[in-house]
Structure 1
Amino acid sequence: MSRPTIRHLALYARDPKALAQFYCEHFGMDLILADPEGNHFLGDGYLTLALLKLQMAGEAPVGMNHFGFHVPDAARTCSGLSAAGIEQPALRASKRPFAEYRAIDLEGNWFDLSEHGYGIEV
């Protein structure tokens, strides 16, 4: 990998299971993981689509939540972002296997950083 690549998109969904079935049936995506919290992770051979269970008590709307980069060196990427004046990326609080760090860009968009990848290797 010579440069960071966008490898996942995450959507909040009211019914991740039904939405996963929709994407699998109509777009040929494969189910990678369905976790105990009700989140479903799909793949198309390159991109991972994370369908996250919307918590009605939360403040996040249904739809786009964040995207994620697969990077060759997470520590170097985090240092570079911090040196450029971006808030220091933080270790992800969740145990999800697809991202180690969460960061926020200049416009307030959330993105993840993963050195180990998103469950699909090209």
Structure 2
Amino acid sequence: MTRPRLRHLAFVVQDAKSMAEFYCSQFGMDLFHTDPDGSHFVTDGYLNLALIQQQLDGDVPTGFNHFGFEVPDVAPIADRLTAAGLPTPALRGGDRPFAEYRAIDPEGNWFDLSAHGFLPPGVEQG
């Protein structure tokens, strides 16, 4: 891989299980992970779709949430973003098996950066 590649899109949805079933049955996608909060993650073997379960006690509306780049190395990308006047990408904490860093573009859109990809450890990327 010589340049960053889009590998991940995320939407907040009202019923992640039903949405995952829709994409699997209608487009042949495969479910590869379910979070304890009910979020479901499906893939076509190349692009992963995160269906984030909306939380009633949260303030995140349904719809597009963020996208993610797979990169050969996060550090040079982070350096370029910071040099361009953007905040330094933040390490994502917790038990997230996917993206390592969260960043924002000049208009405030969230995106993830990952050197190891967007599938859980042990699941092969297409």
In the alignment, which residue of structure 2 is the partner of 1:78? 78
Q: Secondary structure at the match of 1:55?
A: coil
In the alignment, which residue of structure 1 is the partner of 2:23? 23
Question: Is 1:121 paired with 2:125?
Answer: yes
Relative distance call for 1:51 and 1:94 in structure 2 (3 A) is farther
TM-score, normalised with respect to structure 2: 0.92
Letter in 1 for 2:52: L
1:53-92 map, 5 Å: 53-92=53-92
Aligned-residue CA RMSD (Å): 1.1
Q: For 1:45 and 1:101, how far apart are their aligned partners in 2?
A: 22
Letter in 1 for 2:65: N
TM-score, normalised with respect to structure 1: 0.95
In the alignment, which residue of structure 2 is the partner of 1:32? 32
Letter in 2 for 1:121: Q
Q: For 1:89 and 1:6, how far apart are their aligned partners in 2?
A: 17
Q: For 2:4 and 2:85, how far apart are their aligned partners in 1?
A: 19
Structure 1 runs of 4+ with >6 Å offset: none
Which string of whole-angstrom CA distances, capped at 9 and with x for unpartnered residues, describes residues 67-119 of structure 1? 00000111111111111111111011342211000011001100000000012
Q: Secondary structure at the match of 2:81?
A: helix
Letter in 2 for 1:92: R
Segment drifting more, 32-41 vs 60-69: 32-41
